[in-house]
Structure 1
Amino acid sequence: MTLPDIPALDRAAEPGLRARLDGKAKPPGALGRVEDLAVRLALMTGREDPVIDRCRLLIFAGDHGLTAEGVSSYPSEVTAAMVATFLAGRATANAFAAAVGAEVRVVDAGVDADLAPHPALIDAKVRRGARNAAVEPALTCGEVETALARGAQIAAGAAEAADVIAIGEMGIGNSAAAALVVHRLAPAPLADCVGAGAGHDAAGLARKAAVLRRAAARTAAAAPLDVLAEFAGLEIAMMAGAVLGAAGRRRPVLVDGFIASAAALAAIRLVPAAADYCIFAHRSAERGHDILLRSLGAEPLLDLGLRLGEGSGALLALPLLRAAARLLTDVASLDDVIAGRL
């Protein structure tokens, strides 16, 4: 398949951007990693005056055949119920989006239900749920390619209306699928990638780990497209496509927690240049997320013990991006302050 072309960052511009920040009305380096973020945003957008005002959160939803094995403490029907909650504006993601001024769109990548049309719903369904990865490939190669292409197209469309694109997800059982993806693509031992998800007790976690060992033993897949086909859900594959599509339009991608990060990992393994456009919002409490981040050399912006998904952590990090951009555009230079040119 043809993957989006992703522009290389102009690294030669970085010293000038650092000099501009050092000349602001503050001690050089006084704002620490916020200054690093400002430089990254300028390089991503190709502008010395980056604008990060408009944000669109894309929540990708899909179901998983793995839930038949008891890998989640919730039934798969909760996926469609939560989609309805997003569309009603009553989920955590909606509350946080309202708090930070972001738009929310829900993408039906592969929900195992027929969803009624809604202005905030994007119908991109490839099929009704992924297959049971413990016994067969979750997706065909064609389904993965379709999901990637649709995700890239959705993100490219969102780029027309947003300065930054945040990605989140909803899918009962998707922390199990993400653990398998991270296991192969980080790579990392499977046991280090399996966490409690939505809230397993010790017995539930042991059951989940056993199911995932069976799934992993079924195939030696290690190439990104093969790993997505063997283990991923459609929301994970479509999020990976969205990362590529947003990066292709020079839009920063604000990545949520463990599952969204697994999708970003797949995107980066497919097109390494995508890493330059990914901003990891937070370090999730889900086991395996820290391993994933370290495999990419990524340092997230926040560490709040979150493990909800939905893009909730990405939304909480959004004000940091806006503040970093305004550091370049709104703060006076020290020379102007001294000369009274304000």
Structure 2
Amino acid sequence: MLANSSFSMPSTFLLIGIPGLEGGTLWIAITFCLIYILAIVGNCTILYVIKTEKSLHGPMYFFLSMLALNDMAFSSSTMPTMLGIFWFDAGRVDAVCCLTQMFFVHSLSAIETGVLAAMAFDRFIAICFPLRYMTLLTNVLLGKIAMAIVVRAIVIISPVPVLVGRLQYCTENVVSHSYCDHMAVVQVACGDIRIKSVYGLVISLSVIGIDLIFIGLSYTMILRAVYKLPSRAARHKAVGTCGSHICVITITYFPGVFSFVTYRFGQNTIPHSVHILLANIYILFPAFLNPLVYGVKTKQIRERVLRTFYLKTDTFRPLH
């Protein structure tokens, strides 16, 4: 794959960050770095609260833990590369490392949508079959769902870097991106890239489309069940249990779908710098916002965090 040939894959790629915004990259990097640190702290807090609070050892919080772990891995898959480009002008990346990053970025994205679909299924069982919730969503079933999500992502995404590595490359190795995105690297290749582009498009649409359809069906059944509840208070409580998940779905899918559509179909109307900013926002901002959403809207997590903070401040209170 890396043989010395005029049409072989180059030994390295040069990532140039965000073309057109070179003058503001310092402040962009500082902002993204602060958001990244807060994202790591927020998700670690969620994981700590779920682990230490026995009342949160249930199916809903199992999937929330998966989401937190995936968010940290997802944002960490690109942030070191981006900060290295912006702060140290270290944009040269080994080709194998570039393909490896490509695999992790897109597989973690597939895991993200899979976890959101699983969380929708969890809410469907909780509202439509509340008395059988714990008996249906056993630990064995939760493990199988988690394994299926991870295996699906690996199987679907594994061919992507392999196909990219087999493309024909001439002398160009400059990638107009802040990390090794699939389409950004493919556009560096010379020759016919339509088959690889179509494969990437089909994979993206199938993963996102299937998960969105599953989420839509789950919430359709949830709304039907909620509509049949006898009192407004019961309906409000049932919908309230879905509020956090709906917010997280919006936070994740909106920038992701917008970035995907504009990158593939809006090349002539939207500046390239906007595409790259959206791609980074899609990876970084859900990891930052998801802990805030669940911390604010989930009573058990909110109370546990406040109780922990109160105990710490009370411990260090000066004596009079």
Flag the structure with larger Rg.
Answer: 2
TM-score normalised by the chain length of structure 2? 0.27
Structure with higher helix content: 2
TM superposition score normalised by structure 1: 0.26
